[in-house]
Amino acid sequence: MPEFKALLDGYRRFRTTGYIEQRQRYDALANKGQSPKIMVIACSDSRVDPTRVFDTEPGQMFVLRNVANLVPPYVEDEGMHGVSSAVEYAVTQLQVHHIVVLGHARCGGIGASLSGQFDDADHGKGGFISAWMRMIAPARDRIRKAAEISADIDAAAALELEAIRISIENLHSFPFVAEAEARGELHIQGALFDIADGILRVLDRESGRFEAVPLDW
């Protein structure tokens, strides 16, 4: 498989360049463990790597990636809660100071939700995707109706932003998250990265709008 061979070639380049350049940092991480202060919840989309977007070094971010960067609401049961366990570990064990929900433009999961292409699919044919995206279905339906009334509404862009807001709202349903935030020990941010123009927009808590990050500082 040429794709896997390309990965191994990349490893060899990393091992002979990047790893050596960062050797002191890797040694420290290996001996002392990780202590990142930021958790990023991002999409699995291969075009949006948060470590590249934010130009971070190893050990700086605790990253969780899934379809459409979604966080389900807090539920206490014996189910397999991959997202919830990662959030719990980040907040209660790593004691991160920030959780960033990082969405992106032209998201395939958002597009699938809007099109409804997997709504009645069996597992193995889109059924898992359908079940996962169901958590934003009410927002999807509202945006669909609004787009039918006004041609000026970009339904995909609107749902990409709304999915970030929903994930933030769901994060607040986790008691340990809400408690850490109330103590001032945790801050939750929303952001969206546009693949086409490279612009990062951050959710402003007061206005509720996503504002572009200026490049001058």
- Structural domain boundaries of the chain? 1-32, 34-212
Q: CATH homologous superfamily of domain 34-212?
A: Carbonic anhydrase (3.40.1050.10)
- Residue-wise pLDDT tens digits, 2-49: 888 998 898 898 888 887 778 887 887 788 888 899 999 999 999 999
Q: Which of 8-12, 73-77, 191-195 has the lowest mean pLDDT?
A: 8-12
Cα 167–169–171 angle (5° rounding)? Answer: 70
Residue 44 tokens, joined? 């699995």
HSE-CB of 207 using CA atoms within 13 angstroms: 6
pLDDT confidence bin for 105, thresholds 50/70/90: very high
CB of 133 closer than 8 Å to CB of 109:
yes
Q: Whole-prediction pTM value?
A: 0.91
CB of 135 closer than 8 Å to CB of 70:
yes
- Residue-wise pLDDT tens digits, 133-188: 999 999 999 999 999 998 889 999 999 999 999 999 999 999 999 999 999 999 99
Beta bridge mates, 188: 99
Cα 203 to Cα 76, 85, 88, 181, 186, distances in angstroms: 29, 25, 23, 17, 16
Which residue in this structure is represented by tokens 């807090």?
74
CB of 200 closer than 8 Å to CB of 189:
no
Question: Which residues contact residue 137 at a Cβ distance below 8 angstroms, ignoring those fewer than 6 apart?
Answer: 113
d(CA 208, CA 202): 10
